[in-house]
Amino acid sequence: MDRMDDTLIDVPRGLTNVVAARTELGDVRGHEGFYHYRQYSAVDLARERTFDEAWHLLLFGALPGTDELEAFRARIAAARTIPEDVRALLPSIARLTAAGDALAGLRMALAAVAASDRIRPLYDESPVERLDDAVRAAAVTPVLLASLHALAEGREPLAPHDDLASVAGYLYLVTGRVPDREHERALSAYMTAAIDHGFNASTFTARVIASTGADLASAVGGALGALSGPLHGGAPSRALDTLDEIGTPDRTDEWVHRTLAEGGRVMGFGHAVYRTEDPRSRMLREFAEGLGGPRVEFAVQVERRVQELLAELKPGRELHTNVEFYAGVVMELCGLPRSMFTPTFAAARVVGWTAHILEQAADGKILRPSSRYVGPAAPQPLPARVPATS
Protein backbone atom coordinates (compact mmCIF):
# COMPACT_ATOMS: atom_id res chain seq x y z
CA MET A 1 0.00 0.00 0.00
CA ASP A 2 1.09 3.57 -0.54
CA ARG A 3 0.75 6.64 1.71
CA MET A 4 -0.68 9.85 0.28
CA ASP A 5 -1.64 12.80 2.49
CA ASP A 6 -1.51 10.50 5.55
CA THR A 7 -4.15 8.22 4.00
CA LEU A 8 -3.23 4.60 3.39
CA ILE A 9 -4.37 3.19 0.08
CA ASP A 10 -5.10 -0.52 0.13
CA VAL A 11 -3.40 -2.81 -2.37
CA PRO A 12 -4.23 -6.41 -3.26
CA ARG A 13 -3.30 -9.23 -0.91
CA GLY A 14 0.10 -10.64 -1.83
CA LEU A 15 0.94 -7.39 -3.66
CA THR A 16 -0.45 -8.97 -6.83
CA ASN A 17 0.33 -6.74 -9.84
CA VAL A 18 1.77 -4.01 -7.60
CA VAL A 19 4.84 -2.41 -9.19
CA ALA A 20 7.57 -2.51 -6.53
CA ALA A 21 10.61 -1.48 -8.58
CA ARG A 22 11.89 -0.72 -12.05
CA THR A 23 14.03 -3.29 -13.83
CA GLU A 24 15.89 -3.60 -17.12
CA LEU A 25 16.37 -7.35 -16.72
CA GLY A 26 13.11 -8.66 -18.14
CA ASP A 27 9.37 -9.03 -17.83
CA VAL A 28 6.55 -11.60 -17.87
CA ARG A 29 3.46 -10.85 -19.97
CA GLY A 30 1.16 -13.58 -18.75
CA HIS A 31 -1.88 -12.83 -20.89
CA GLU A 32 0.30 -13.04 -24.00
CA GLY A 33 2.13 -16.18 -22.95
CA PHE A 34 5.45 -14.37 -23.33
CA TYR A 35 8.44 -13.42 -21.19
CA HIS A 36 11.82 -11.96 -22.02
CA TYR A 37 15.32 -11.31 -20.74
CA ARG A 38 16.25 -7.75 -21.57
CA GLN A 39 15.41 -7.25 -25.27
CA TYR A 40 15.17 -10.92 -26.26
CA SER A 41 12.51 -13.59 -25.93
CA ALA A 42 13.59 -15.93 -23.12
CA VAL A 43 12.23 -18.91 -25.04
CA ASP A 44 14.15 -17.93 -28.18
CA LEU A 45 17.31 -17.67 -26.09
CA ALA A 46 16.64 -21.09 -24.58
CA ARG A 47 16.10 -22.65 -28.00
CA GLU A 48 18.92 -21.00 -29.91
CA ARG A 49 21.60 -19.88 -27.46
CA THR A 50 23.43 -21.39 -24.50
CA PHE A 51 22.97 -20.91 -20.78
CA ASP A 52 26.30 -19.09 -20.54
CA GLU A 53 25.27 -16.65 -23.28
CA ALA A 54 22.01 -15.84 -21.48
CA TRP A 55 23.97 -15.41 -18.23
CA HIS A 56 26.27 -12.91 -19.98
CA LEU A 57 23.23 -11.05 -21.32
CA LEU A 58 21.72 -10.64 -17.85
CA LEU A 59 24.96 -9.38 -16.32
CA PHE A 60 26.29 -7.18 -19.11
CA GLY A 61 23.25 -6.25 -21.18
CA ALA A 62 24.41 -7.84 -24.44
CA LEU A 63 24.95 -11.27 -25.91
CA PRO A 64 28.67 -12.12 -26.12
CA GLY A 65 30.69 -12.51 -29.28
CA THR A 66 32.92 -15.55 -29.67
CA ASP A 67 35.91 -14.03 -27.88
CA GLU A 68 33.74 -12.52 -25.16
CA LEU A 69 32.04 -15.86 -24.54
CA GLU A 70 35.38 -17.63 -24.28
CA ALA A 71 36.62 -15.04 -21.78
CA PHE A 72 33.39 -15.24 -19.79
CA ARG A 73 33.57 -19.03 -19.60
CA ALA A 74 37.16 -18.77 -18.38
CA ARG A 75 35.97 -16.36 -15.69
CA ILE A 76 33.20 -18.78 -14.66
CA ALA A 77 35.66 -21.70 -14.53
CA ALA A 78 37.98 -19.74 -12.25
CA ALA A 79 35.08 -18.94 -9.91
CA ARG A 80 33.95 -22.57 -9.48
CA THR A 81 36.64 -23.59 -7.00
CA ILE A 82 35.40 -24.53 -3.53
CA PRO A 83 37.79 -23.22 -0.82
CA GLU A 84 39.59 -26.01 1.04
CA ASP A 85 38.18 -24.96 4.41
CA VAL A 86 34.67 -25.14 2.96
CA ARG A 87 35.35 -28.46 1.24
CA ALA A 88 36.20 -29.88 4.66
CA LEU A 89 32.78 -28.80 5.94
CA LEU A 90 30.74 -30.36 3.13
CA PRO A 91 30.52 -33.89 4.60
CA SER A 92 29.03 -32.46 7.80
CA ILE A 93 26.60 -30.30 5.82
CA ALA A 94 25.59 -33.34 3.75
CA ARG A 95 24.93 -35.35 6.93
CA LEU A 96 22.86 -32.55 8.44
CA THR A 97 20.71 -32.43 5.32
CA ALA A 98 20.67 -36.16 4.59
CA ALA A 99 16.88 -36.07 4.29
CA GLY A 100 17.39 -34.58 0.85
CA ASP A 101 16.95 -30.88 1.62
CA ALA A 102 19.54 -29.75 -0.89
CA LEU A 103 18.46 -26.11 -0.69
CA ALA A 104 19.17 -26.04 3.06
CA GLY A 105 22.58 -27.57 2.39
CA LEU A 106 23.27 -25.01 -0.31
CA ARG A 107 22.35 -22.13 2.01
CA MET A 108 24.90 -23.33 4.56
CA ALA A 109 27.58 -24.05 1.97
CA LEU A 110 27.18 -20.69 0.21
CA ALA A 111 27.39 -18.86 3.53
CA ALA A 112 30.60 -20.76 4.25
CA VAL A 113 32.07 -19.83 0.86
CA ALA A 114 31.17 -16.19 1.45
CA ALA A 115 32.85 -16.26 4.86
CA SER A 116 35.94 -17.94 3.44
CA ASP A 117 36.11 -15.41 0.59
CA ARG A 118 35.67 -12.55 3.06
CA ILE A 119 33.01 -10.89 0.92
CA ARG A 120 31.86 -7.53 2.16
CA PRO A 121 28.44 -5.86 2.31
CA LEU A 122 27.23 -4.63 -1.06
CA TYR A 123 27.02 -1.15 0.46
CA ASP A 124 30.81 -1.12 0.92
CA GLU A 125 31.78 -2.62 -2.44
CA SER A 126 32.47 -1.10 -5.82
CA PRO A 127 30.44 -2.20 -8.86
CA VAL A 128 33.41 -4.32 -9.98
CA GLU A 129 33.58 -6.10 -6.62
CA ARG A 130 29.83 -6.71 -6.66
CA LEU A 131 30.08 -8.23 -10.12
CA ASP A 132 32.87 -10.52 -8.94
CA ASP A 133 30.67 -11.67 -6.06
CA ALA A 134 27.76 -12.30 -8.44
CA VAL A 135 29.81 -14.46 -10.82
CA ARG A 136 31.37 -16.29 -7.88
CA ALA A 137 28.03 -17.17 -6.27
CA ALA A 138 26.41 -18.35 -9.49
CA ALA A 139 29.49 -20.30 -10.63
CA VAL A 140 30.12 -22.15 -7.37
CA THR A 141 26.45 -23.01 -6.72
CA PRO A 142 26.20 -25.98 -9.12
CA VAL A 143 29.52 -27.35 -7.85
CA LEU A 144 28.30 -27.17 -4.25
CA LEU A 145 25.02 -28.84 -5.17
CA ALA A 146 26.71 -31.66 -7.06
CA SER A 147 29.23 -32.16 -4.25
CA LEU A 148 26.52 -32.37 -1.58
CA HIS A 149 24.60 -34.82 -3.76
CA ALA A 150 27.64 -37.06 -4.19
CA LEU A 151 28.38 -37.02 -0.46
CA ALA A 152 24.75 -37.84 0.38
CA GLU A 153 25.10 -40.89 -1.88
CA GLY A 154 28.37 -41.93 -0.23
CA ARG A 155 30.55 -40.92 -3.18
CA GLU A 156 33.56 -38.65 -3.38
CA PRO A 157 32.66 -35.41 -5.23
CA LEU A 158 34.23 -34.88 -8.63
CA ALA A 159 36.40 -31.88 -9.44
CA PRO A 160 34.95 -29.45 -12.01
CA HIS A 161 35.76 -30.20 -15.64
CA ASP A 162 37.09 -26.85 -16.81
CA ASP A 163 36.89 -27.74 -20.49
CA LEU A 164 33.11 -27.99 -20.31
CA ALA A 165 30.59 -25.15 -20.46
CA SER A 166 28.38 -24.58 -17.41
CA VAL A 167 25.53 -26.98 -18.17
CA ALA A 168 27.70 -29.81 -19.48
CA GLY A 169 30.00 -29.32 -16.50
CA TYR A 170 27.08 -29.55 -14.10
CA LEU A 171 25.78 -32.75 -15.71
CA TYR A 172 29.27 -34.22 -15.50
CA LEU A 173 29.52 -33.43 -11.77
CA VAL A 174 26.12 -34.97 -10.98
CA THR A 175 26.18 -38.03 -13.25
CA GLY A 176 29.91 -38.71 -13.53
CA ARG A 177 29.72 -38.72 -17.33
CA VAL A 178 30.49 -36.12 -19.97
CA PRO A 179 27.04 -35.60 -21.53
CA ASP A 180 26.29 -35.98 -25.20
CA ARG A 181 25.30 -32.93 -27.21
CA GLU A 182 21.54 -33.67 -27.17
CA HIS A 183 21.34 -33.93 -23.39
CA GLU A 184 23.46 -30.83 -22.87
CA ARG A 185 21.25 -28.83 -25.25
CA ALA A 186 18.02 -30.03 -23.63
CA LEU A 187 19.17 -29.22 -20.09
CA SER A 188 20.65 -25.91 -21.25
CA ALA A 189 17.26 -25.00 -22.71
CA TYR A 190 15.53 -25.77 -19.41
CA MET A 191 18.07 -23.94 -17.26
CA THR A 192 18.12 -20.92 -19.57
CA ALA A 193 14.33 -20.75 -19.39
CA ALA A 194 14.55 -20.90 -15.58
CA ILE A 195 17.04 -18.06 -15.07
CA ASP A 196 14.44 -15.38 -14.38
CA HIS A 197 10.68 -14.99 -14.29
CA GLY A 198 9.61 -11.58 -13.07
CA PHE A 199 9.29 -10.38 -9.49
CA ASN A 200 8.44 -13.75 -7.97
CA ALA A 201 8.77 -14.27 -4.22
CA SER A 202 12.42 -15.37 -4.20
CA THR A 203 13.57 -12.64 -6.59
CA PHE A 204 11.74 -10.00 -4.58
CA THR A 205 13.26 -11.39 -1.37
CA ALA A 206 16.74 -11.13 -2.88
CA ARG A 207 16.11 -7.52 -3.86
CA VAL A 208 14.75 -6.57 -0.42
CA ILE A 209 17.86 -7.95 1.27
CA ALA A 210 20.15 -6.35 -1.31
CA SER A 211 18.43 -3.01 -0.75
CA THR A 212 19.68 -3.01 2.86
CA GLY A 213 23.28 -3.11 1.63
CA ALA A 214 23.84 -6.62 3.02
CA ASP A 215 26.36 -8.94 1.35
CA LEU A 216 25.39 -10.74 -1.84
CA ALA A 217 25.50 -14.22 -0.29
CA SER A 218 22.94 -13.18 2.31
CA ALA A 219 20.61 -11.97 -0.45
CA VAL A 220 21.01 -15.27 -2.34
CA GLY A 221 20.48 -17.20 0.88
CA GLY A 222 17.25 -15.34 1.52
CA ALA A 223 16.08 -16.11 -2.01
CA LEU A 224 16.86 -19.80 -1.45
CA GLY A 225 14.80 -19.68 1.73
CA ALA A 226 11.85 -18.25 -0.19
CA LEU A 227 12.28 -20.86 -2.93
CA SER A 228 12.11 -23.66 -0.37
CA GLY A 229 8.52 -22.75 0.47
CA PRO A 230 5.94 -25.15 -1.05
CA LEU A 231 3.85 -22.25 -2.37
CA HIS A 232 6.72 -20.90 -4.46
CA GLY A 233 9.35 -23.37 -5.53
CA GLY A 234 7.14 -26.06 -6.96
CA ALA A 235 8.59 -29.47 -7.66
CA PRO A 236 9.16 -30.87 -11.15
CA SER A 237 9.46 -34.31 -9.56
CA ARG A 238 5.78 -34.17 -8.62
CA ALA A 239 4.80 -34.09 -12.27
CA LEU A 240 6.74 -37.32 -12.76
CA ASP A 241 5.05 -38.73 -9.67
CA THR A 242 1.76 -38.02 -11.44
CA LEU A 243 2.87 -39.99 -14.49
CA ASP A 244 3.97 -42.85 -12.23
CA GLU A 245 0.63 -42.88 -10.40
CA ILE A 246 -1.37 -42.88 -13.62
CA GLY A 247 0.79 -45.67 -14.99
CA THR A 248 -0.91 -46.22 -18.35
CA PRO A 249 -2.94 -43.93 -20.63
CA ASP A 250 -6.20 -45.84 -20.01
CA ARG A 251 -6.04 -44.92 -16.29
CA THR A 252 -5.84 -41.16 -16.88
CA ASP A 253 -9.57 -40.45 -16.58
CA GLU A 254 -10.01 -42.42 -13.38
CA TRP A 255 -6.94 -40.82 -11.78
CA VAL A 256 -7.99 -37.26 -12.61
CA HIS A 257 -11.57 -37.75 -11.38
CA ARG A 258 -10.39 -39.35 -8.14
CA THR A 259 -7.70 -36.72 -7.49
CA LEU A 260 -10.10 -33.80 -7.97
CA ALA A 261 -12.85 -35.51 -5.93
CA GLU A 262 -10.39 -35.85 -3.04
CA GLY A 263 -9.50 -32.16 -3.27
CA GLY A 264 -6.05 -32.80 -4.72
CA ARG A 265 -4.18 -30.92 -7.42
CA VAL A 266 -3.14 -32.20 -10.80
CA MET A 267 0.54 -31.31 -10.60
CA GLY A 268 2.08 -29.73 -13.67
CA PHE A 269 -1.09 -27.94 -14.80
CA GLY A 270 -2.07 -24.31 -14.28
CA HIS A 271 0.02 -21.22 -13.52
CA ALA A 272 -0.53 -18.12 -11.41
CA VAL A 273 0.55 -15.78 -14.21
CA TYR A 274 -0.09 -17.41 -17.58
CA ARG A 275 -3.62 -17.44 -19.00
CA THR A 276 -2.34 -19.22 -22.08
CA GLU A 277 -0.09 -22.21 -22.48
CA ASP A 278 3.13 -21.68 -20.51
CA PRO A 279 5.70 -20.89 -23.24
CA ARG A 280 8.35 -22.77 -21.26
CA SER A 281 6.24 -25.93 -21.31
CA ARG A 282 5.72 -25.73 -25.06
CA MET A 283 9.45 -25.32 -25.64
CA LEU A 284 10.43 -28.14 -23.28
CA ARG A 285 7.89 -30.46 -24.92
CA GLU A 286 9.77 -29.93 -28.19
CA PHE A 287 13.09 -30.86 -26.56
CA ALA A 288 11.53 -33.89 -24.85
CA GLU A 289 10.10 -35.11 -28.14
CA GLY A 290 13.50 -34.59 -29.73
CA LEU A 291 15.03 -36.90 -27.14
CA GLY A 292 12.14 -39.34 -27.62
CA GLY A 293 11.24 -42.57 -25.86
CA PRO A 294 8.23 -44.23 -24.20
CA ARG A 295 8.25 -41.78 -21.26
CA VAL A 296 7.84 -38.82 -23.60
CA GLU A 297 5.10 -40.49 -25.62
CA PHE A 298 3.22 -41.27 -22.41
CA ALA A 299 3.66 -37.70 -21.11
CA VAL A 300 2.23 -36.24 -24.33
CA GLN A 301 -0.77 -38.58 -24.15
CA VAL A 302 -1.42 -37.69 -20.51
CA GLU A 303 -1.05 -33.96 -21.19
CA ARG A 304 -3.59 -34.07 -24.01
CA ARG A 305 -6.17 -36.09 -22.06
CA VAL A 306 -5.78 -34.20 -18.77
CA GLN A 307 -6.33 -30.87 -20.54
CA GLU A 308 -9.52 -32.25 -22.10
CA LEU A 309 -10.76 -33.45 -18.71
CA LEU A 310 -9.90 -30.19 -16.93
CA ALA A 311 -11.77 -28.24 -19.62
CA GLU A 312 -14.84 -30.38 -18.86
CA LEU A 313 -14.52 -30.44 -15.08
CA LYS A 314 -13.34 -26.85 -14.55
CA PRO A 315 -14.97 -24.86 -17.37
CA GLY A 316 -13.84 -21.30 -17.84
CA ARG A 317 -10.40 -21.89 -16.34
CA GLU A 318 -7.26 -21.98 -18.47
CA LEU A 319 -5.35 -24.94 -17.04
CA HIS A 320 -2.56 -25.74 -19.46
CA THR A 321 0.67 -27.54 -18.63
CA ASN A 322 3.19 -25.41 -16.79
CA VAL A 323 6.97 -25.56 -16.85
CA GLU A 324 7.13 -28.31 -14.22
CA PHE A 325 5.39 -30.94 -16.35
CA TYR A 326 8.01 -31.32 -19.07
CA ALA A 327 10.90 -30.03 -16.95
CA GLY A 328 10.78 -33.24 -14.95
CA VAL A 329 10.63 -35.34 -18.11
CA VAL A 330 13.60 -33.52 -19.67
CA MET A 331 15.75 -33.67 -16.53
CA GLU A 332 15.05 -37.37 -16.10
CA LEU A 333 16.02 -38.05 -19.71
CA CYS A 334 19.25 -36.10 -19.15
CA GLY A 335 20.20 -38.41 -16.29
CA LEU A 336 19.38 -36.25 -13.27
CA PRO A 337 17.82 -37.98 -10.25
CA ARG A 338 14.57 -36.53 -8.94
CA SER A 339 16.27 -35.30 -5.79
CA MET A 340 18.27 -32.91 -7.99
CA PHE A 341 15.35 -31.42 -9.95
CA THR A 342 14.65 -28.47 -7.63
CA PRO A 343 18.39 -27.89 -6.96
CA THR A 344 18.92 -27.72 -10.73
CA PHE A 345 16.22 -25.06 -10.94
CA ALA A 346 17.99 -23.16 -8.15
CA ALA A 347 21.34 -23.45 -9.95
CA ALA A 348 19.76 -21.67 -12.91
CA ARG A 349 17.73 -19.13 -10.94
CA VAL A 350 20.75 -17.94 -8.91
CA VAL A 351 21.95 -16.29 -12.13
CA GLY A 352 18.75 -14.26 -12.24
CA TRP A 353 18.85 -13.49 -8.53
CA THR A 354 22.39 -12.17 -8.68
CA ALA A 355 21.54 -9.96 -11.66
CA HIS A 356 18.61 -8.52 -9.68
CA ILE A 357 20.84 -8.07 -6.63
CA LEU A 358 23.32 -6.03 -8.68
CA GLU A 359 20.53 -3.90 -10.11
CA GLN A 360 19.02 -3.26 -6.68
CA ALA A 361 22.39 -2.48 -5.11
CA ALA A 362 23.05 0.11 -7.82
CA ASP A 363 19.72 1.79 -7.02
CA GLY A 364 20.83 2.45 -3.44
CA LYS A 365 17.31 2.84 -2.01
CA ILE A 366 16.15 0.58 0.80
CA LEU A 367 12.80 -1.11 0.19
CA ARG A 368 10.53 -0.04 3.03
CA PRO A 369 6.78 -0.46 2.33
CA SER A 370 3.99 0.47 4.73
CA SER A 371 1.27 -1.65 6.29
CA ARG A 372 -2.30 -0.99 7.39
CA TYR A 373 -2.84 -1.51 11.11
CA VAL A 374 -6.07 -3.44 11.77
CA GLY A 375 -5.69 -4.23 15.47
CA PRO A 376 -7.45 -2.63 18.49
CA ALA A 377 -7.76 1.16 18.46
CA ALA A 378 -4.76 3.00 19.90
CA PRO A 379 -3.73 4.66 22.09
CA GLN A 380 -5.50 3.18 25.10
CA PRO A 381 -4.52 3.70 28.75
CA LEU A 382 -2.38 0.99 30.22
CA PRO A 383 -4.32 -1.22 32.63
CA ALA A 384 -3.37 -1.18 36.28
CA ARG A 385 -0.67 -3.66 37.12
CA VAL A 386 -2.06 -6.71 38.87
CA PRO A 387 -0.22 -7.19 42.17
CA ALA A 388 1.83 -10.37 42.40
CA THR A 389 0.30 -13.02 44.59
CA SER A 390 2.37 -14.37 47.47
Tell me: pLDDT of 273 over 50: yes
Angle 292-294-295 from CA coordinates, rounded to 5°: 85
Confidence of residue 337 (pLDDT cuts 50, 70, 90): very high
> Which sequence spans correspond to the domains of the chain?
44-229+338-363
- 13-62 pLDDT, tens digit each: 767 777 778 999 999 988 888 899 999 999 999 999 999 999 999 999 99
pTM of the predicted protein model: 0.91
pLDDT range class, residue 5, cuts 50, 70, 90: very low
pLDDT reported for residue 376: 93
Closest CA to 239 of 306, 310, 171: 306
Q: What is the pLDDT of residue 2?
A: 43
Active site residue 324: yes
Q: For residues 275 and 121, give the distance between their C-alpha atoms in angstroms, rounded to a whole number.
A: 40
- Structure letter (DSSP) for residue 2: E
Report pLDDT digits (tens) over 205-221.
999 999 999 999 999 99
Domain 44-229+338-363 - what CATH class? Answer: mainly alpha
The pLDDT value given to residue 1: 40
Catalytic residue among 184, 324, 332, 356: 324
Q: Tens digit of pLDDT for each residue in 101-136?
A: 889 999 999 999 999 999 999 999 999 999 999 999
Q: Can 183 be counted among the known catalytic residues?
A: no
Largest alpha-carbon pair distance within the chain? 83
Give the β-pairing of 26-29 and 7-9. unpaired
DSSP string, 346-367: HHHHHHHHHHHHHHHHHH----
Q: What is the pLDDT of residues 355-383, one digit of tens each?
A: 999 999 999 999 988 888 889 999 999 99
pLDDT per position as a tens digit, 176-203? 999 999 999 999 999 999 999 989 999 9
Q: Classify residue 159 by its DSSP letter.
A: P
pLDDT for position 3: 45
10 Å Cβ neighbour count for 132? 17
Residue 84, classified by CB atoms within 10 Å of its CB into exposed (0-12), middle (13-18) or buried (19+), is: exposed
Per the residue annotation, which of 271, 303, 320, 356 is the catalytic one? 271
Q: What is the pLDDT of residues 287-313, one digit of tens each?
A: 999 999 999 999 999 888 988 888 887
